[in-house]
Amino acid sequence: MDSTTLPLAARSGRVAAAVCAAAMISLAVAMGIGRFAFTPLFPLMVRDGLLDSHAGAMLAAANYLGYLAGALAASRLRIKPALLLALGLAGTVLITAAVGWTASGFWWAVLRFLAGVMSAWTLVATSAWGLGWLAAIGRPDLAGVQFSGVGIGIAAAGMFCLLLGRSLPSPQLWIGLAALGALASILPLVLSRSLPAPPAPMPAAAAAATGPAAPQATFGLVVCYTLFGFGYILPATYLPALARQLVDDPAVFGLAWPVFGAAAAISTVLVSWRLAKAQRLGVWAAAHLLMAAGVLLPAVWTSLASVTLAALLVGGTFMVITMVGMQEARARAEGQATRVLGRMTAGFAVGQLAGPLVSASIARLTDTEAAALHMALALSALGLLGSAAWLWKTNSHIAHRKGKP
């Protein structure tokens, strides 16, 4: 693949295609299956008498904790990104299969915790490895292809459950998803081994990375990414429940998750394509504004149309924010990509954990659950708006500084 007999453009093109394919599939397996497959499988496990709502919430919490633990570990591990990626993929496949092999609530909680760890490892490793290679060969515009893997995995897992959920019990669906993940993981495992570490960026690629490059300049990014996790988790958790109250049609709920994943996949590609020359912080700020609108909408207008629009606004921005946030942090990392991206992912995990806790605390001070949810959504939107203002101000400051002679 890196033969010196090939022209430089041909070598770069082949490397770009290989890196994009490996990163996209890695994220599809680890995030779309390992982390988010529980969403379409949960109602099927309830149908089979394996779980109730309380147990499902406990398993979700275990996954959030695992995601935080995995992110914190990734920021401290002295492991090359390619190796961390391989460990994350192998662990995801084994853990997904193990959920279908046991019927113990305790072991399910342990497995969902470990699935969160593997998801964080793979996201951090894939971002460091994949974005590093794209920067090195001067193709950062292809980042959207890489991050579309999360949406593709979500859509694939959702369609798998929709098509086979009526004829197969949920344990077999877990094992089937693990088998699909194992087959899909072969390509990224092979390619990440043949391209273990990106070379030093070419001058063009270095120039394309906007913003100051200093590891200590990432604190504000971590805070904004934490507020993103806090703002995202509440609508992602409660919008399906609101839709269920408004429309009693199982087909709608079955299609909701694949559509959500497709929107996430398409959004990253479109942003990378249409906004290739835009400042990352400006795109990030705009995405926070759109997500804030999606978060607030159900609190001020409760209808199927508002819930659908809110889902599109949140689903269409959450992977865009992930993509540009990881790109910006990696560009500032100066050889510490895994460490810095681990901090970013840990910040998101903290915000994600805080969302339900804050909502539950507000519920103790209000008369109804609906009022508590609306107040929590308003607080989430406020955090997104505040972080958008900081990102926009920082982006303007950087642009002004670059414009000086």
Handedness of CA 106, 111, 116, 121 (dihedral sign): positive
Residue 194 lies in a domain: yes
Tell me whether residue 385 is in a domain: yes
* CA neighbours closer than 13 Å in the CB half-sphere of residue 184: 27
Query: Which CATH number does the domain housing residue 46 bear?
Result: 1.20.1250.20
Is 258 a member of any domain? yes
Predicted local confidence at residue 171, as pLDDT:
95
pLDDT tens column, 26-59: 999 999 999 888 988 888 898 889 988 778 878 9
Range of the domain at 37: 14-403
- pLDDT tens column, 163-173: 898 889 999 99
When pLDDT is averaged across residues 102-116 and rounded to a whole number, the result is 93
Residue 352 is assigned to a structural domain of this protein:
yes
Instruction: For residues 326-338, give the mean pLDDT.
Output: 82
For the cut 90, the answer to whether the pLDDT of residue 292 exceeds it is yes
Residue, of 46 and 288, whose pLDDT is higher = 288
Assess if residue 306 is contained within a domain: yes
Per the prediction, the chain carries an average pLDDT of 84
- Evaluate if residue 3 carries a pLDDT over 70: no
The mean-pLDDT minimum among 2-6, 60-64, 307-311, 314-318 falls in 2-6
Q: What is the pLDDT of residue 174?
A: 96
Neighbours of 235 (CB within 10 A): 29
More confident residue, 123 or 357: 123
What is the SS3 assignment for the chain? CCCCCCCHHHHHHHHHHHHHHHHHHHHHHHHHHHHCCHHHHHHHHHHCCCCCHHHHHHHHHHHHHHHHHHHHHHCCCCCCHHHHHHHHHHHHHHHHHHHHHCCCHHHHHHHHHHHHHHHHHHHHHHHHHHHHHHHHCCCHHHHHHHHHHHHHHHHHHHHHHHHHCCCCCHHHHHHHHHHHHHHHHHHHHHHHHHCCCCCCCCHHHHHHCCCCCCHHHHHHHHHHHHHHHHHHHHHHHHHHHHHHHHCCCHHHHHHHHHHHHHHHHHHHHHHHHHCCCCCHHHHHHHHHHHHHHHHHHHHHCCCHHHHHHHHHHHHHHHHHHHHHHHHHHHHCCCCCHHHHHHHHHHHHHHHHHHHHHHHHHHHCCCCCHHHHHHHHHHHHHHHHHHHHHHHHHHHHHHHHHHHCC
4, part of any domain: no
Asked if the structure places residue 326 within a domain, the reply is: yes
Cα three-residue angle 194-196-200, rounded to 5 degrees: 120
d(CA 172, CA 187): 24
Q: What is the pLDDT of residue 315?
A: 83
Number of domains composing the chain: 1
Residue 84 has pLDDT above 50, yes or no: yes
Per-residue pLDDT tens over the stretch 216-274: 478 999 999 999 999 988 887 776 666 666 666 666 666 777 877 888 899 999 888 87
Q: Is residue 1 part of a domain?
A: no
Structure confidence at residue 251 (pLDDT):
62
296-318 per-position pLDDT tens digit: 888 788 777 777 788 888 888 98
Q: How confident is the model at residue 158 (pLDDT cuts 50, 70, 90)?
A: confident
Whole-angstrom Cα distance, residue 276 to residue 212? 18
pLDDT band at 150 (very low <50, low <70, confident <90, very high): very high
Model pTM greater than 0.85? Answer: no
Q: Given this model, what pLDDT does residue 239 score?
A: 66
Q: What was the pLDDT predicted at 120?
A: 94
Q: Is the pLDDT of residue 61 over 90?
A: no
